[in-house]
Structure 1
């Protein structure tokens, strides 16, 4: 039941975990490397499920902490906080791209892509081949996240009212996750295009729901404080890191077996690593992901992700530069703009968000 959280609103260790920032920073580097040259990190698509899982874990934890304090999920406040966190930097990037589009060939087409991205539906246009944005293709993942933010608080509120917070609730969410995994497997064996499997919200829902289940599970003292759970997570943390790193440098996103269970397996590996990083026992993974450079990367990773793809592709397709030039110019430029975005766009709005009584996420 939720009485534990209501009676002990500060017992749930949501807090700030520097290791999660470090993990985000590491995953972002892999994605950025792959977008310079795919061969540098061909399996970075695995890290997108890690991002989805971490986001779902953190959002579920925030929602549960709010519920534990007031007995309800404040939908308006939650959506306002998400908007303050995400929209300013996102629409600044969209606006900058619209200005750049004036100087590119097919300006109207690029502006149409900006509209699709700005409406957070680019994952579906990519999934069904309606629009394959050349410069804003990376917004597919942001679209999935936004759709998740819209739906999950409503679903969680209904689930908690019906089932309460208990192991049964975790089991229900896990069953939903694996039902979506089976759905994606059926689509895979039925011959669905890779683009459909890669970009659909439904075909990414397993990672999101596993993250939700993790947030629910770690809110339960019988799970979070269980010595066996802590030992398993501690022992599995380093192997999980190795598995994810090896996957990032060996797998290919076109491998169909990944959509028939493979990505679900890697989401589970990511869940173990995230659990290890938020549970109290220190591991080698903590020491690695809490390194200051990685934590810094994690703090600016939203800006890095927003800006790297359009910058790379304006250099590559707009100016005709080679991968070497994209790396030499695009990477430093991305870091510079991401740091400016964090300092002058994100932080001021984060301050407003924090005044609304929100933990970092």
Structure 2
């Protein structure tokens, strides 16, 4: 039987939001002044990823009454692993020449490709030279757990007239309180910052928004109608950029502020109109967002090298340009091949070239992640 490809309508503003998120991450890793808290850019990725993945899963469940787990995991593998394997392979070859004093190159790569970097960094300081791999591990753990958990919640919520947003709201609150619990226990900042269990709230928040968009309770419709006023909340994000590394207020409430701001932004761009939509659909931001997964993979070693040799503006500009070029090379070779193989295998034949060109925007919308 031929499988159905579940796709979302392409919204360029979401690519623009990815572009903003990756710029914040690069500013953070380049140690740019006034951007101590730019690490919050990762939380934008988490909310957006949770929103897109949950939207696709809900579409499938509503259509089929079930979720094809094997199909889901296979598609995630072909979207994410080829680019990661290429990056780590190049890193293992180039790093000994660039940083001859490093002794953990291959062990860091192994931990990264196994998606163990989040707990590895939190408790064992590994990987060190591939520090940015932690967020990919967080997302991978989410992908493993979320589909069966979501199905369980969907079946349990059937008694509540299918209001899946209620248990997801409770799960978001609990995951936020779980992070605050460890702050209260006096755990170190980095031990809380990097772990899946303490950073899953953003992914759950995105899932909550996806459920709200599907079920459309009256209060969310009223909130959407008031988006011109709710957008003022987004201005809180620049104000919390002073919550730098080791500031536990970032863990207590800073992350939650960013998650709520991301939800507000996503709500505001559901219709292709308005100032926020126009800003996020700037061509440069959209193009950067389309390559954001690859840019995220390549940027950290590039920025790490540049910041050791040059000033922060050079590290930022050079980091964006070099990592974007490498991401484009990766996307138009290995990643594009993997996407075609994935979708060709799914439908039983390779898509025609013209058909592929028409499908690519929706394909990117449904599959590109931080």
Structure 1 residue runs of 4 or more that deviate by more than 6 Å after TM superposition: none
Q: How many correspondences in the alignment? A: 345
Q: CA RMSD in A?
A: 2.6
Map of 2:351 onto structure 1: none
SS in 1 for 2:197: coil
Counterpart of 1:283 (choices 269, 274, 279) is 274
Distance 1:261 1:40 in 2: 19
Given that residues 167 and 217 in structure 1 are in contact (C-alpha distance below 8 angstroms), is that contact kept between their aligned partners in structure 2?
no
Counterpart of 1:194 (choices 189, 194, 198) is 189
> Unaligned stretches of 5+ in structure 2?
348-361
User: Which string of whole-angstrom CA distances, capped at 9 and with x for unpartnered residues, describes residues 251-295 of structure 1?
Assistant: 3132212212331232112111112222x3622111110111111
Counterpart check, 1:349 vs 2:346? no
CA 1:76–1:33 in structure 2 vs 1: closer, same or farther (change >3 Å)? Answer: same
1:21 Cα offset (Å):
0.5
> Unaligned stretches of 5+ in structure 1?
1-8
Counterpart check, 1:299 vs 2:290? yes
1:329 Cα offset (Å):
4.2
SS in 1 for 2:196: coil
Given that residues 217 and 223 in structure 1 are in contact (C-alpha distance below 8 angstroms), is that contact kept between their aligned partners in structure 2?
no
Counterpart check, 1:125 vs 2:120? yes
Counterpart check, 1:244 vs 2:245? no
1:1-361 correspondence to structure 2 within 5 Å: 14-39=8-33, 41-103=35-97, 104-106=99-101, 108-128=103-123, 130-164=124-158, 168-222=163-217, 227-237=221-231, 239-248=232-241, 250-278=242-270, 280=271, 282-316=273-307, 320=309, 323=312, 326-327=315-316, 329-355=318-344, 356=346, 359=363, 360-361=365-366
Distance 1:59 1:13 in 2: 10
Distance 1:121 1:162 in 2: 31
Distance 2:266 2:317 in 1: 33
Distance 2:142 2:318 in 1: 34
Given that residues 294 and 327 in structure 2 are in contact (C-alpha distance below 8 angstroms), is that contact kept between their aligned partners in structure 1?
yes
1:334 Cα offset (Å):
1.4
Distance 1:245 1:352 in 2: 42
CA 1:166–1:303 in structure 2 vs 1: closer, same or farther (change >3 Å)? Answer: farther
Deviates more, 1:85-94 or 1:12-21: 12-21
